[in-house]
Every structure is written in structure tokens, then in C-alpha cells.
Chain A
């Protein structure tokens, strides 16, 4: 597979995530779209890792070039898990107070 296919796939998913962040008002959905963006990054990193591996393996078949990107993906997942706990805690806290997860709700309260 040419690397470009993977780049386009990742960018498409990333931009769909951005569209979701821009067009939705439900805080949980916005957060899910951010997770989608992170996953787009993950797949791009794995594809790049294999690409660099292939380039290095022609010279040295025993190389482990590319494992650093896969470990980076692992760390992204770690951080995402931590972020989800905090994010959902904040959203639930807000829901307990105003019974809504609409990000514009508070703006409406002010006016």
C-alpha cells in the first residue's frame, strides 16, 4: 500500500472529528469527536512506523526502527484513558447542576 492512502485516511478521519467539534452542542459528542481525532493520529503513526521500518529493513533486516511510534500510540491511549475519566467526571458534575450537557446552556443562563 502506498503511504499516501494511509495519510489521506487519517486526515479524513481527523477532519471529520473537527467538523464534529465545530457543529455539535452536546459536550459528550464533542468529546467523542476529539477521541476520533486522536484515533486518526494513532493510525497515521502506525502507518509511518511501518513505513520507516520498511525503509530501514532493506539495509538491516533485524532493525527495530518504528517501534518508537507504536509506543507513542500506546502512550496516547494511556493519556486518552486518563483524560476520559476526568472529562466524564466534569460532564457528570455539570449535568448534576443544570440537567443538561449543552455547551451553550450556560451562555443562555447569563443573558
Chain B
């Protein structure tokens, strides 16, 4: 095993374990912290794939902004494991079995997909660097980029409408 493989397995294990902890920890604050760990692991994967721009954006936007917002709301509501509502045992079991079956089906189906022999070389290529992505974003993808401003505007108006006092 070379260093890349070791890192890959380490980050994968970290991501999956933390994701499981997000779902199964009783305290909402712990869930948020585990989710931040998942995002760090995923950012590590991005760096290994030489997608540096996305790695940084992932950290800034997800771990930095979105998760802090979540944490802020949870603390505002003063939630802890005692006030945490729980589904009954059977519903939980059914949900887990359903998700597990979906996992099994997807893995079994995609195990022998048409791309199974293709490889991913992290070190090769510079498409993930900001030079290339910026150029593509502002030439080929300028229309969706501008249109997404409408999305932001509507989210902004919406948050104000919902949040402000009547």
C-alpha cells in the first residue's frame, strides 16, 4: 500500500463512520459536529482528486457557513439529548432495513457497471484548479451562473418574509 491508498482508506473510513454517528448520536449538537467531520473527510477526498477549488469551497461554504448556521439554530433552541424526540423501535428498524436494502441493491447493480474497469488518477490533470474552472464558469457556464442569482434573490426574499415580525 502506498501513501495514496492509505490516505484514501483512512478518509473513507472517517467519512463513513462519522456519517453513521450523525444518524445515530442522540444529541443534535454532536450530530452537527460529526457532520462537520464528514465534510472535512470529503474535502480530503477532493484534494486527493486534485479538485482544489471544490475542496476549499466545500470547507468554506459547507463546514464554514452552513454548519455554523445549523449549530447556531440548534443552540438557539437549546436542544439536547433529553429533549430529542425518538421514533419507536419498529419504525427505526424498518427505516434502517429499507436504507440497507437500497444500499445492497445499488451496490449489487453498480458492481458490474460499464465503467467498472476505468480508473481515477488524482495526481493527473489540472481541471480541478481555479484557473480552468473560472475560465469555464465565465464562458460556457455564464448563463446558469447568472440565473442562479435569481435563486439567491428568491431565497433571500423568502427568508426575510418568513423571519420578519408581522
Contacts and interface: CB of A to CB of B under 8 A. Distances in A.
B69 to A, nearest CB: 6
A11 B151 contact: no
A79 B22 contact: no
Instruction: Give chain A's interface secondary structure class.
Output: helix
B6 interface: no
B151 A82 contact: yes
Q: Ordered nearest first, which 10 A-B pairs have the shortest CB separation? A: A22-B95, A19-B99, A82-B155, A15-B103, A23-B95, A20-B23, A102-B85, A89-B162, A25-B85, A16-B19
Contacts of A55: 118
Interface in B57-109: 57-58, 61-62, 65-66, 69-70, 73-74, 76-77, 79, 84-87, 91-92, 94-96, 98-100, 102-103, 106-107
Given A50-B122, A89-B163, A19 B133 contact: no
A109 to B, nearest CB: 14
Q: Interface centre among A1, A79, A83, by most B CB within 10 Å?
A: A1
Contacts of A65: 127
Contacts of A79: 148, 151
A26 B22 contact: no
A28 B77 CA distance: 11
B65 A70 contact: no
Contact of A22 (B19, B76, B85, B99): B99
Nearest to A38: B62
Contacts of B100: 15, 19
B119 A54 contact: yes
Contacts of B128: 46, 49-50, 70
Given A4-B116, A36-B38, A78 B151 contact: yes
A77 B122 CA distance: 22
